[in-house]
């Protein structure tokens, strides 16, 4: 894995690309493209939060620790709760709870299994109201203003 991929700024830049793909496709008339957009949003959320974790504790920049986080929002939140400011982790908890992301393991979208479904909260379709933009902006500002990467 290239070194710039696992530093906070590299991870953040990738997260922004996934978020742009979400924005470009979420309002498409084709439901398949909308589902791809939701997948892009989930990847963007994951990568934004992982970028912030790496920023807070560079041990997460090591590939083996990054892989241990997996694609599970509950696991990701548990680490954030220990490292991030309380008001930030509380906001993430609120969003994950409201969008029912704690009960989802979105690796199912990458590795589908017969009999397993991924439930998508309809609120994720509205890019102006899902609430993650506030999180994305905070993370971007924190990493960019303190960036020495």
What's the confidence (pLDDT) of residue 147?
A: 73
CA distance 105 to 4: 27
- Tally the domains of the chain: 1
**Whole-prediction pTM value?**
0.86
DSSP 12-38: HHHHHHHHHHHHHHTT-S-HHHHHHHH
Q: Buried b / exposed e across 57-80, counting CB within 10 Å, b at 16+?
A: eeebbeeebbeebebbbeebbebb
Triad 105, 76, 118: Cα angle to 5°: 15
CA distances from 67 to 36, 60, 80 (A): 23, 9, 15
Q: Residue 90 belongs to what domain range? A: 3-145
10-residue stretch averages of pLDDT, the chain, 149 residues long? 69 96 92 88 95 93 85 90 95 91 66 62 78 95 84
| Contact residues for 42 (Cβ-Cβ < 8 A; gap 6+) | 106, 109
Residue 17 contacts residue 24 (beta carbons within 8 Å): no
């Amino acid at each position: 894995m290239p070194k710039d991929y696992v530093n906070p700024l590299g991870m953040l830049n990738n997260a922004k690309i996934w978020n742009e793909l979400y924005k470009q496709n979420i309002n498409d008339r084709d439901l398949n493209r909308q589902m791809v957009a939701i997948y892009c949003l989930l990847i963007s959320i994951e990568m934004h939060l992982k970028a912030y974790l790496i920023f807070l504790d560079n041990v997460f920049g090591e590939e083996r620790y990054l892989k241990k986080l997996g694609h599970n929002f509950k696991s990701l939140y548990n680490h954030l709760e220990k490292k991030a400011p309380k008001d930030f982790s509380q906001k993430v908890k609120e969003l994950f709870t409201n969008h029912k992301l704690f009960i989802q393991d979105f690796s199912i979208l990458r590795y589908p299994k017969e009999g397993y479904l991924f439930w998508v909260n309809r609120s994720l379709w509205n890019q102006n109201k899902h609430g993650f933009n506030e999180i994305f902006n905070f993370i971007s500002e924190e990493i960019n203003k303190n960036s020495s990467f």
